[in-house]
Chains A and B, each alone.
Chain A
Amino acid sequence: MCLIIDIHAHIWGGKYEKDKEEIIKACELYDISKVYISGLRGYYPGKDEINELNHEVYKFSKEQPKHIGGFCYVNPVNNNCLDVLKKGIEDYHMEGMKLWVATYCDDPLVFPLVEKCIEYDIPILIHSFKKAIGQLEFETTGLHTAELARMYPKARFIMAHLGGNAYHGIKSIKKYENVWVDISGSIFRRDDVDYTVEQIGVERILFGTDMAGSFLVNYGQIEEADITPEQRELIYYKNALKVLHG
């Protein structure tokens, strides 16, 4: 059994204790080495909500340092977002920045945050999802992620969920070597991992789940993919170590 680093998981505002309990139970039951958490709640969070979410993640990482690491959740629309990032990285010792759906990730409001992440030498996890139905107003897709990666070749980006629809997301970011992808989320099509390996190689694929959603769904995808044990190790943890530590 190799190490497993889950690069993409959450605790949700309003149910912190339940999510924490389930995530730790999953770590113990499924031998997950480390889970990187960000806190989420509303689509367009204000300053207080962001502070609360990041503080809860910080508390969780203090309570469970062996299993839990933090990503600092930032809403680029809020005028204190650079301070939020500073606090997250310098005071809470978080190891990456998380962007969700408050703005497209290539909105100019995001640029100063990316520049700060380059200074801190930390990765940026970007929710990316191309949807046939229910696309949110400012929900990033692979194309937005690709544009940001083009503008900032020194930054390290993680495009979440394979871009939602892998056939849209992966081609969008294919030529940008500074974009990794995670397999998190509830899509468990048999061919998505094989397709992604064929398109961008195995070294840019990270293991993620979106817990407190399912874990085994994503684990099963890696176990069933047509890849070697060595490639599985890359996806389960070795690639994550590179993204996290440069």
Chain B
Amino acid sequence: MKKIDVNCLLGNWPFRKIRKNSFEDLKEVHKQNNIEYGYVSSLNSIFYNDPFEGDLELHELIKDTLYKHILTINPEIPGFIDDIKKGIELFNIKGVRIYPGYHGYSLDSKYIRKLCMVLAENKLPLFLTMRMEDERLNYLSHPRNIEATELAEFLTNHPENKVVLLSIRAGEILLIKDMLNFRNNVLVDTSGLKEWLFVIEKLTKDIDHHRIVYGSDHPLYCLKSSLLLVEKAEVDNSVKEDIFYNNANKMI
């Protein structure tokens, strides 16, 4: 079965030691689990004053490989539109990833509206990070929570944008299930699905399985944990194939 990981990262995480954060580590864990490649973004870019410097580092690591570059943008930093243009030209980026929780802006800010306009013009998906760690473990920094109402309003206001919601919880998915079922250009990844037994089986009763894509959040999260949620799910193989590969391949 073909597999793609839409949510993987490379770089350093300032709050704890990451043991498997090299590109070799990522390729190895993907190979062991029969994942062909990933959509990868820079951990360093989240914290750099100029995120583009982290993306230059990332490009040096993944250029000339199957891995797809997802550019990190903080839309409150001047020049982000130029960075996207450079990302397209230099890195052949396949999307833009944002961290409203860490960078501290609201999803209805004027900068987000501008970003969405640029992404729609360039037909690039927005990778929206709901969280990076369990909120209960965030000691040294306190990223802002993205509430379901804020997310729903954002999705309503930007129907033209392809959006991939990363590390969203199953309970949060159910809160926006009507939106997910109504729109065919919003996806959720699997990296945040940790609350329930049989979570894929339960979710696919409420939302169209074409809205789910496989994402691990490796190396912060355990890849095997999210992988097994899909592999061991009691759903048709065709559903697993869609989640692991087809949905991402078609949409992203």
In the assembled complex, the Cα of A218 lies from the Cα of B228 at a distance in Å of 10
Q: Does B197 contact A (CB under 8 A)?
A: yes
CA of A233 to CA of B196 in the docked complex: distance in angstroms?
25
A106 at the interface (CB under 8 A from B): no
A213 interface residue (CB < 8 Å to B): yes
What A residues does B195 contact at CB under 8 A? Answer: 186, 213-214
**A131 and B221 in contact (CB under 8 A), knowing A30-B232, A214-B197?**
no
What 1/0 flags go to B184-212 for Cβ under 8 Å of A? 00000000001111110000000000000
Of all chain B residues, which has the CB nearest A211? B197
- Chain A residues near B197: list those with CB within 8 A: 22-23, 25-26, 211-215
Given the complex, which residues of B lie within 8 Å of A78, measured CB to CB?
none
B49-57, B107-115, B130-138, B148-156 - interface stretch: B130-138
**Interchain CB contact under 8 A, A22 and B19:** no
Which residue of chain B has the shortest Cβ distance to A194 in the bound complex? B19
Q: Are A217 and B225 in contact (CB under 8 A)?
A: yes
B19 touches A133 (CB 8 A): no
CB pair A189–B229 under 8 Å, yes or no, is no
Whether a CB of chain B sits under 8 angstroms from the CB of A164 is yes
* In the complex, chain A residues 9-27 whose Cβ is within 8 Å of any chain B Cβ: 22-23, 25-26
Check if B17 is an interface residue, CB within 8 A of chain A: yes
The secondary-structure label for the interface of chain B is loop
Interface assignment of A244: CB less than 8 Å from any CB of chain B: no
Q: Tell whether A132 pairs with B18 under 8 Å between CB atoms, given A189-B133, A214-B196.
A: no
Most buried by A among B135, B136, B232: B136
CA distance A223 to B229 in the complex (A): 13
Does B86 make an interface contact (CB < 8 A)? no
* Cα–Cα distance between A178 and B12 once the two chains are bound (Å): 35
Q: Is B73 an interface residue (CB 8 A)?
A: no
Q: Cβ of A191 and Cβ of B134 under 8 Å apart?
A: no
> Which one of B137, B223, B226 contacts A132 once the chains associate, using CB atoms below 8 Å?
B137
> In the bound complex, do residue B221 and residue A189 qualify as a contact, i.e. CB atoms below 8 Å apart?
yes
The complex places the Cα of A224 from the Cα of B227 at a distance, in Å, of: 11
Q: A189-B137, A190-B218, A191-B16 are in contact. List 13 more A-B contacts (CB 8 A).
A: A22-B198, A164-B136, A165-B139, A167-B16, A189-B222, A190-B18, A190-B220, A190-B223, A191-B19, A195-B17, A212-B196, A214-B199, A221-B222
